[in-house]
Structure 1
Amino acid sequence: MNSDRSDHSQPTADLPSSPAGDVTADMPPPAAAPVREGPGSRIGPYRILSQIGEGGFGVVFLAEQERPVARRVALKIIKLGMDTRQVVARFEQERQALALMDHPNIAKVFDAGATESGRPYFVMEFCPGEPIDAYCDRNRLTIEQRLDLFIQVCEAVQHAHTKAIIHRDIKPSNILVASRDGRLTAKVIDFGVAKATVSKLTEKTLFTEHRQFIGTPEYMSPEQAEGSQDIDTRTDVYSLGVLLYELLTGTTPFSGRELRSAGFAEILRIIREVEPPRPSTRLSSNTATLATVASQRQAEPTRIGSIVRGELDWIVMTAMEKDRARRYDTASALAQDVRRYLAGDAVQAVPPSRSYQFRKFVRRNRVMAGAVSAVAVALLLGAGAFAWQAQVAREQRDKAVEAQASADRQRDRAVLAEAEAKQRADELQLVADFQADMLAQVDPTEAGRMLSADVAARLAESLRKAGADDGARDAAMQAFTSQWANINATDAARTLIDGVILKPAAAAITARFADQPAVAARLQQALAERYHGFGMYVEATALLQAALDTRRRVLGEDHPDTLESLNTLGTLHHVSGRLAEAEAVYRDSLERYRRVQGPDHPDTITAVGKLGALLWEMGKPEAAEQYLRDALAGHRRVLGEEHPETLLSINNMGFVLQQQGKFDEAEAHYREALEKYRRVLGPEHPNTLVALNNVGYLLQAQNKLAEAEPFWRETLEIRRRTLGEAHPDTLNSINNMGYLLQMQGKNDEAEPYWREALDVRRRTLGPEHPDTLWSMNNLGGLLVVMGRLDEADPLLVEALSKRRATLGEGHPNTLMSAINLGGLRVTQRRFAEALAVLEPIEPRARDVFTGGNARRLVSVLLYLGKARAGLASDSAGYQAAETRLLEAQQLLESAPGASLRDRQECAKALSDLYESWHAADPGQGHDAKAASWRDRSGVEQAR
């Protein structure tokens, strides 16, 4: 940020949504009646302590067994009203499945029975822990650590298979992880939909209602989706592949949100026919979540894709083959291949051959024709059956058959058309994701480097072809290099990219995707984010607003994609200086995140922090501080200490502490953020540069100018090179260097920085943007110091007028402009005008300028004292001036960052006051006071 503030507010990536819950049927399950058993009640020898889980038909309690052995157990009981034949069969099946197994990674069964009312229950080992995906992310387990846990899961599933049991519902919530005896241990639970491969688990029939899933769609194998009874252990191998995919990428191969928004037939088609992207492809395409996913795996965002690419891709995709004959034969074989990978040995999984890929492609595209043939056969058979029945009532039945057949044909055609349309939409969405990924990788810095190198190479080649000798070539190249140094290659590349890529893309989206609004919105969002990264906020806002309008219309107000666009729009309003609009959007998005995602979701916590940063900038410190503290605590708790969002919150709290005058605490926060940003994001990442800038900002606030200078010079050098001259962050650094040089008394060196910042901001941000007004205010202040009052006057008047109009009378920035203009009027000896500017702001300045900002209150009091002294004609006037100046001098004794020069200026003002007072009213001792303050000011009395 500028000289009087820090870069404490930066744009953030959207985080992935929470994992979706289970789906069992298109229709909602019947509501369960209240469970009578609860904490304090008893079931046999077990005393219930608390409820720890609940499924579709059962409730799990933590209970205490008192005899014959004292221990804590998990007691599962059928819900009241759910004891149908189907549910009782599933319940009994789970109990018997668990009883057959004895493995350290599977929960053991201890006992079984029925309550007094006849509802069955069973008692099993209590396995404290949390779902494997949540545990891995919360504890930031590396990919190697995740693979070690995954091997345990495979071994547990293999044990079940040796007991002729197929789990059929392997997913993160059915695998609990905890640290036991210093070792991470995974426990596989919930065999409620398990299937026996040889012997019956129970003599009771396991009923499956019409169109009901056995399993969870995201983890379901193609043969499960077909409803086939020919299910074998390779079904679990497929689900293990999905689990591994999620542990590596943070998401399932098929989005739970998309599956649940599709019809029943479409869900089955996706599972059976659609090939998901490889894990490495999914990682590289999800740019919005890449930093989060990488941080949760202690990996660099730029490297995590390459870690997964290759052997891990092959292992996952082999386990998830549509054709089960091409999968690993057993869970043990899958585990062994993972072990080979960890040991650095060659894995058995290999990418599919080109011929096999071609056969799969042909087979996938014949599905529609095959479906049509199947429908025709079914209709012929149906017609034959009805013809036989027509012997009883031929005419009536023939009409009914024909009507039914016609309806069936129409329905089937509609189903096929819908499936084809959905497939086309899916393909378009994949293309949109790919194009968004490509846009995110457009880097003007690298393009500028390439442009510079290419122009130099072409010049050298043209000189060679022209026959120039070595001396002439060297001279020409040196001249070129000297001239080219005056051109910012990053700026040139950005202009070129905008004209050749971004603008044509924006126009093409509207024209080519009119019938695919969701795809158009995805691309507009990506373009807006790229423009935002370029610092081109006007273009970004227009595209983002279009994406938001489309997503609201097509997806709804609370859809995650809509919230993504809403949140980004708030950021654009913020950085564009439209603070009131930003506040309205931030509050709207925060309310929706809290309601839709919950208070502990990373997106919600980030929204809290962004609102806090904005409120601080709007001059609402009390409200802002609580939001920022809540965000920091939430990010530490949910995302960990080194997540980029946590580091942003640490930086923001450093800013708050600095403004409160707690410099030591602020410095600790700033330096922690800087050190971790350098390690996690790299030394030239924009967020790293924010932290680098803020360490310098803190040092200059303490008047440690020589220490601050290298931080600000390094920030400016990197920003000029990587972001270009016109980027808002670069302009902040230019502004800061001007301020630093002025504070060091190097006014002639400072002026070009101030003017450059003001000129470019006026051109790129507009005349009323807060940053433009900062530059206007700062240049005016410098010109006052340099004695060029006529040049300073219009700048300071304009800055104050526009700040009053855009920010309000009481905003801290408006107060700063009033102080500067009041100081100018004092210097011009226009004392009455100075009082007219300064007196109205004194009460607000006393409220706002405390702690680390006390020097600004000193300025108000100093200028008020000088103005009153200049107008004083009696003792009352001199006393009013004396009161302000003595208070200013007292504040300077304790004000953070106050310099000797500040104290000398105030002492001189007191000396001048008492000299004037002595002249007006001699013999009152004012001359002695004048001499005393003159000595303290370091100024000798003229003789």
Structure 2
Amino acid sequence: MAERSKGSELSELDAKRRARGILATLKGGNQRALVEMVMELAGKEHPRVAHHLNDMVMKCDVLTQPPTENLANVSLLKEGDQCGPFRLEKKLGEGGSGFVYLATRTDDLDFKVALKVLNIVSPKAVKRFRRECNILASLKHPNIAHLIDAGVLPTGQPWMAMEYVEGQNLDVYLERNSLDLRTRLKLFLKICAALSHAHQNLVIHSDIKPSNIMVMANGQPKLLDFGIAVWLDPDTGGQGNQTMLVDKMMTPNYASPEQTNGMRLTAVSDVYSLGVVFYELLTGKRPYDIAGTSMSVITRTINQANIERPSRVGFAEQPQKNAWSKFTSGDLDRIALKALARDTRDRYQSVEALGTDIVLYLKGLPIQARPMTSLYRFRKFAMRNRLALGFATLSFLALSLFTINLQQQRMAVEREKQTSERVTEFLISLFEQIDPDRTRVRDITALEIMENGRRQLPRSLSDEPAVQTRLLQSMGLVYRALGQDQVSIDLLEQALEKVPPDSEKAFSIEFDIIASLMSRGDYQDSIQRLEKTVSRFPEPVPAWIQAHRWFLEGSQLFHIGQYRRAWDAFDKAKDLADLLKPGRRLDLLKMQSLLKWEMGYPDEAIAELERLLVMQRQEFGEVHSSIAWNLLNLAQLELDRLNFERATEQLDAAEHMFQQLFDERHPAYIEYYYKRGNLLLDLEQYSEAEETYRMGMALTETLFDKQHSLYAQGLNVMGVSNFRQAKYDEAESFYRQAMTVYLEVFGEVHPKVAMCLNNLAVAYNAKDDLKGSILLHRQALGLHVQLYGKKHSQAVNDMNNLAAALKDLGNLDEAQELYTEALTISREIFGEDHPKIGIILNNLGDLLYSMSDLRGALEKQREALAIRRKYYGDDHWKIAQSQNNLAIILQRMGNYAEAETALRQALRIWKATYGEQHPELAIGISNLASLLREKGDYPAALDLFQQSLAMREAIYDPGAPSIGFAQWKLGQIKMFLGDYDEALDLLKRAEANYAASLKPGHPKNVRCTTLLGQCYASLGLLEQAETVIRRAIEMGESHLDPGHANLLWANSDLVELHLVQGQVAAAESLLERSMTLEQGSGDAKIHLRLRSLQARVKALQEDHETAEALYTQVIDDYRKLFGRPNPRVGEAYLEFAQLKWVQNRYEDVLQDLSLAEENLAVSLPESHQSRLLVRILEGRALRELGREGGDSLFEESLKRLSRSMGKDHYLVIQARDDTLGPLVVKRKGAL
């Protein structure tokens, strides 16, 4: 005793020194037995030493590997250091293997994170750290601190940035805030919800304790530190294969018995730790104190220590809270002790079960942890109804009333029994008609059976209104399930007429009518009817009516796109879920999961549906139609995530269940066939998909007829299949057939009609009928706004699609207004990171590019790409779309390396997705060709442009703008290569195409016409060139912003024409105006083009010093831009040489001509006029220097230029007359 007492008086410093000494004896060894022996001896002698030794052991992984493995070149970071994109502000704390810092983003000082850096880089520590990252990445819950970023320092130390939570540890928060018991329990339920989310994602936290639960100022808890969390094995429900070291890492005071005993962990292990926290929340104390740090003491205490009931413990330091004991005794005692049961079989089997009992307690309902005795149930009833039972003097009267009521209930039960028997008899009479022994007629469909029953009902049960009412309501629900919504409403209205207007039955039928109105798509009618129904009750409205009201209102808001309000309504319904019909309770979970999907929480949505599956199996058993339908929903969500394997599994399971439940002609198979077809369609098995769709359509025709919404659904998906195959005429035909059926079934104002209008508009756009597409998009938008209002996802989709069509037609301002409005509404509906936001940002970026706002376009495309990567991963076709658009902008801005990388990634994804021939692939190939042309690789660009045109000609009609675009691009590269006749033909065809299909001021039209004028100039037809270029400028000035890139290009070509014709003053005036408009555009190519023309103007004005400085800068900028030999650099050197020729600097001329040839030769044929001009000027320079070969080189090159361009071409005339080609300046001393 004396030794232990003396040991306990060691200072902290002495204790740490002793611990380090003991640890030193373990260096080089890794035997667990030796470690535990030393730990136990140290614990007996000096518990404080043992405590520090335990921390040190955990830090160096001595239990599993030599400590020397941890002596890596770790870096201890300090304030101001940078870690990835974050800068450290201060150290928040440290754990067993790392430090935690407060950090901010270097580009956003208001964005704070908690940044954890591993200070031990052993393989096991790194593996554990990475596992924590992976676990955090899989969890997305408002009460779990989420992962933001991760990386590795140059020293090899991994780091992770997590949500920074400002608050207090749970125990501190409870100590400093006087929370009543009810508030504490509600706080605990939020912790349960967070842990439940982790378990649903197959994660065991393994270290639940108050210091790992932070409570923020608003009272919201955050679950932290998944450092020793482990994955659940989905097959066994237990801990996956983890190292033994992880098993031993724990916080003993909160560890479960199985954790200390070295057994496999399950979710039930976290329930125990949560039970300890719950006990502490009720009492301010832990259920036991562990007097020692050795594993044997820890294990013995957790397995054997007596646990007092919370009601007997109380708050030693806060006597006022001991008043809680009357509340905690009983139900809360039972809940706490069940959570702390040492045998896992006696413990709550899930966090949800623990949370459910607390909810039941809060509502005054019987909990699951207690036997359901009559006395207990009566006591709970009495607590909920104190006032009614408080009048002791009326006990005899109450007993009498109870007796009378009991008798009335017996009579009601007897009436109900008789009603049920008569209902059964009626149904049997209906189904006798399909008995082969009773009928010899053809097969009878389900709808025909129901129709026969509907005809019989008025006359066969006219004297039994209760039976009639029950049957009318039941048949109304069946008709809704069969897609006959109007008949459903009619039958339910008849049932409503037969019951007292304010009876419970009347309200039940009203709610069914409202559901049928929603099924028919009459959302506004359903909303008005719900408001009217609820308003019939004076305040306070009964809870069961409120429960159904919030469920139906949430469903209505979901369908009209008011997702945030729907979320609130469903939350209110969830609080009253016990009062919903059993089927509606499950429907509530389904609707909440679909809402989460729409709001961009796919993992949570799927987790909710999987949880619903578990509940359905508990409610109905393993085989039930509701389970099969839920599997179909799950399959569609997995399909939307391109998780084909999982979708296949769920479709197979649904099919197997349908086979057990129904014959092959049951209506359930129709939806199954369509879902299976969708899977095959996404797998690009088009024939198989269409065969499956036809099976669904054939079954619909057999059971119903062709004038049924399910048949129209089949026609619509057939249209989608044909559209995916670029069979646009066939797609249009199917869409029109579908719309005809929908109009017949639903009328003109219905979501399905709007859907068909949108699909038709998209098909028209694909066929390049832009005006027809715009008209249909406007009709779809108008219909959706009429149905839902503007703040709905479908209206947003219509705005987006309409804006895209307007942009293609050249109505850029209206397109921008629509995109901006759609973006604002989407952020209001979905938040900031939803994939729909990515779509609009992508399209808005494309529009800004068309408007020459390159910086704005780049910003929007990068935002879109980040959102899409977060949602879809790296290999989705939408990633390819964003990469392609990003590359186009980067190319315009001169960032060729990043642009080419992005384009090649896009092409890889498109080929993997669509195969070798598809419109998207044709666009990508053309864009890569344009990039290679800019880089000067003309032969490769020519080949790709030819591929793109051939692909488009195989897909589109001859007059489609897409073909005009490909003709323009091919004509341009042929012009660059000097093949002017073919170029002229292609550019004329492209201009004619655009004149017929696009508005005159469309940017493409302006650019194509400009290139046609440039081609005329290259052929020496200067008058025609000026006429055509002026026409392009006139079109651009009438419809485009003055600083639009395509208008600036047209102006630059007119400047060059002025210079060729010696009109220097006119050229200078137009050039100055163009340079003013170009400032700040970010377009590197047009900037350098204008600067080059400025140098030529200065040369013609004989301001040689300024001209030389400009040429030097232009050449340097071109070389930086392209990073390799390029014809544009060659042309600049040729012009620079001409300037030096004027100054009689012949040696410098030869040097620049050599550099010009080096750059021109990489892409241009030897016969190209630029290379011939190099030789002509080289010959003249050699002659002036008196060197041999000059005359012959000049004469031969001049002859070749004359044969190529014609003897009357201005270049031939200038070369022959000893002028300087494009500069049109005689050299000094020339005749």
Work out the CA distance in 2 between the residues paired with 1:124 and 1:657: 64
Work out the CA distance in 1 between the residues paired with 2:974 and 2:948: 15
Superposed displacement of residue 604, structure 1:
1.6
Q: 1:242 to 1:632 in 2, by over 3 A?
A: closer
The unaligned stretches of length 5 or more in structure 2 are 1-139, 143-166, 196-205, 220-256, 258-263, 284-320, 361-365, 385-541, 556-569, 609-623, 669-695, 1156-1173, 1184-1190, 1192-1231
Work out the CA distance in 2 between the residues paired with 1:317 and 1:189: 34
Residue 909 (structure 1) aligned to one of 1113, 1135, 1150: 1135
Work out the CA distance in 2 between the residues paired with 1:822 and 1:719: 35
What's 1:758 paired with? 991
Amino acid aligned to 1:294: L
What's 1:41 paired with? 172
Q: Is the counterpart of residue 888 in structure 1 residue 1114 in structure 2?
A: yes
1:416-464 CA-to-partner distances (Å, cap 9, x unmatched) read xxxxxxxx9xx976566444434333449775xxxxxxxxxxxxxxxxx
Work out the CA distance in 2 between the residues paired with 1:197 and 1:123: 10
What's 1:389 paired with? none
Residue 624 (structure 1) aligned to one of 857, 870, 878: 857
Work out the CA distance in 2 between the residues paired with 1:53 and 1:891: 68
1:649-680 CA-to-partner distances (Å, cap 9, x unmatched) read 23333334333433333222222222122223
Residue 209 (structure 2) aligned to one of 56, 61, 72: 72
Work out the CA distance in 1 between the residues paired with 2:858 and 2:805: 22
Q: Is the counterpart of residue 314 in structure 1 residue 540 in structure 2?
A: no
What's 1:392 paired with? none
Amino acid aligned to 1:863: L
What's 1:728 paired with? 961
1:592-640 CA-to-partner distances (Å, cap 9, x unmatched) read 1111101121112322232223223322222222222222222212221
> Is the Cα–Cα contact under 8 Å of residues 531 and 539 in structure 1 kept in the other structure?
yes
What's 2:394 paired with? none
Amino acid aligned to 2:644: A
Work out the CA distance in 2 between the residues paired with 1:900 and 1:236: 67
> Is the Cα–Cα contact under 8 Å of residues 712 and 742 in structure 2 kept in the other structure?
no
> Is the Cα–Cα contact under 8 Å of residues 749 and 787 in structure 2 kept in the other structure?
no
> Is the Cα–Cα contact under 8 Å of residues 108 and 124 in structure 1 kept in the other structure?
no
Amino acid aligned to 1:811: H
What's 1:771 paired with? 1004
What's 1:92 paired with? none
Identity level (%) = 16
What's 2:674 paired with? none
Amino acid aligned to 2:641: Q
Superposed displacement of residue 891, structure 1:
3.5
Work out the CA distance in 2 between the residues paired with 1:930 and 1:663: 31
Residue 640 (structure 1) aligned to one of 860, 863, 873: 873
Work out the CA distance in 2 between the residues paired with 1:236 and 1:596: 25
> Is the Cα–Cα contact under 8 Å of residues 250 and 293 in structure 1 kept in the other structure?
no
Q: Is the counterpart of residue 200 in structure 1 residue 372 in structure 2?
A: yes
Count of residues in Structure 1 that have an aligned counterpart in Structure 2: 644
What's 1:181 paired with? none
What's 2:901 paired with? 668
Q: What RMSD, in angstroms, separates the aligned Cα atoms of the two structures?
A: 5.9
What's 2:191 paired with? 60
Which runs of structure 2 are paired with 1:78-89 in the superposition (5 Å)? none
What's 2:809 paired with? 576
What's 1:439 paired with? 719
Amino acid aligned to 1:210: W
Work out the CA distance in 2 between the residues paired with 1:103 and 1:239: 29
Q: 1:276 to 1:250 in 2, by over 3 A?
A: farther
Q: 1:734 to 1:897 in 2, by over 3 A?
A: farther
Q: 1:123 to 1:561 in 2, by over 3 A?
A: farther
Work out the CA distance in 2 between the residues paired with 1:906 and 1:674: 33
Work out the CA distance in 1 between the residues paired with 2:265 and 2:1071: 80
Superposed displacement of residue 513, structure 1:
6.4
The unaligned stretches of length 5 or more in structure 1 are 1-18, 22-35, 64-68, 82-98, 127-159, 168-173, 176-186, 257-272, 285-289, 328-353, 363-423, 448-492, 919-924
> Is the Cα–Cα contact under 8 Å of residues 907 and 934 in structure 1 kept in the other structure?
yes
Work out the CA distance in 2 between the residues paired with 1:584 and 1:125: 61
> Is the Cα–Cα contact under 8 Å of residues 547 and 577 in structure 2 kept in the other structure?
no
Work out the CA distance in 2 between the residues paired with 1:532 and 1:53: 59
Which runs of structure 2 are paired with 1:351-366 in the superposition (5 Å)? none
Superposed displacement of residue 237, structure 1:
13
Work out the CA distance in 2 between the residues paired with 1:781 and 1:70: 73
Superposed displacement of residue 931, structure 1:
7.1
Superposed displacement of residue 47, structure 1:
14
SS in 1 for 2:191: strand
Q: 1:497 to 1:237 in 2, by over 3 A?
A: closer
What's 1:299 paired with? 644
Amino acid aligned to 2:1096: K
What's 1:866 paired with? 1096
Q: Is the counterpart of residue 804 in structure 1 residue 1037 in structure 2?
A: yes
Deviation larger for 636-645 or 581-590: 636-645
What's 2:1056 paired with? 823
What's 1:477 paired with? none
Work out the CA distance in 1 between the residues paired with 2:703 and 2:354: 36
What's 2:1019 paired with? 786
What's 2:543 paired with? 209
Superposed displacement of residue 818, structure 1:
0.9
SS in 2 for 1:716: helix
Amino acid aligned to 2:719: L
Amino acid aligned to 2:372: K
Q: 1:786 to 1:632 in 2, by over 3 A?
A: same
> Is the Cα–Cα contact under 8 Å of residues 583 and 614 in structure 1 kept in the other structure?
yes
Amino acid aligned to 2:931: L
SS in 2 for 1:210: helix
Which runs of structure 2 are paired with 1:98-247 in the superposition (5 Å)? 104=266, 108-109=271-272, 110-111=275-276, 114=282, 116=321, 118=324, 200=372, 203=377, 205=380, 209-211=543-545, 213=547
Work out the CA distance in 2 between the residues paired with 1:123 and 1:903: 80
Superposed displacement of residue 783, structure 1:
1.8
TM-score (norm 2): 0.44
Amino acid aligned to 1:795: V
Superposed displacement of residue 511, structure 1:
9.7
Work out the CA distance in 1 between the residues paired with 2:793 and 2:868: 20
Superposed displacement of residue 715, structure 1:
2.6
Superposed displacement of residue 788, structure 1:
2.2
Bigger relative CO (Cα 8 Å, ≥ 6 apart):
1
Residue 787 (structure 2) aligned to one of 554, 559, 562: 554
What's 1:403 paired with? none
Q: 1:547 to 1:216 in 2, by over 3 A?
A: closer
Amino acid aligned to 1:680: T
Work out the CA distance in 1 between the residues paired with 2:592 and 2:873: 26
Amino acid aligned to 2:980: N
Work out the CA distance in 1 between the residues paired with 2:999 and 2:755: 29
Superposed displacement of residue 163, structure 1:
10
Amino acid aligned to 2:1132: C
Which runs of structure 2 are paired with 1:687-698 in the superposition (5 Å)? 687-698=920-931
Q: 1:534 to 1:239 in 2, by over 3 A?
A: same
Work out the CA distance in 1 between the residues paired with 2:900 and 2:1123: 14
> Is the Cα–Cα contact under 8 Å of residues 1096 and 1107 in structure 2 kept in the other structure?
yes
Work out the CA distance in 1 between the residues paired with 2:1075 and 2:338: 70
Work out the CA distance in 2 between the residues paired with 1:806 and 1:788: 28
> Is the Cα–Cα contact under 8 Å of residues 576 and 765 in structure 1 kept in the other structure?
yes
Amino acid aligned to 1:441: S
Work out the CA distance in 2 between the residues paired with 1:250 and 1:719: 37
Bigger-Rg structure (1/2): 2
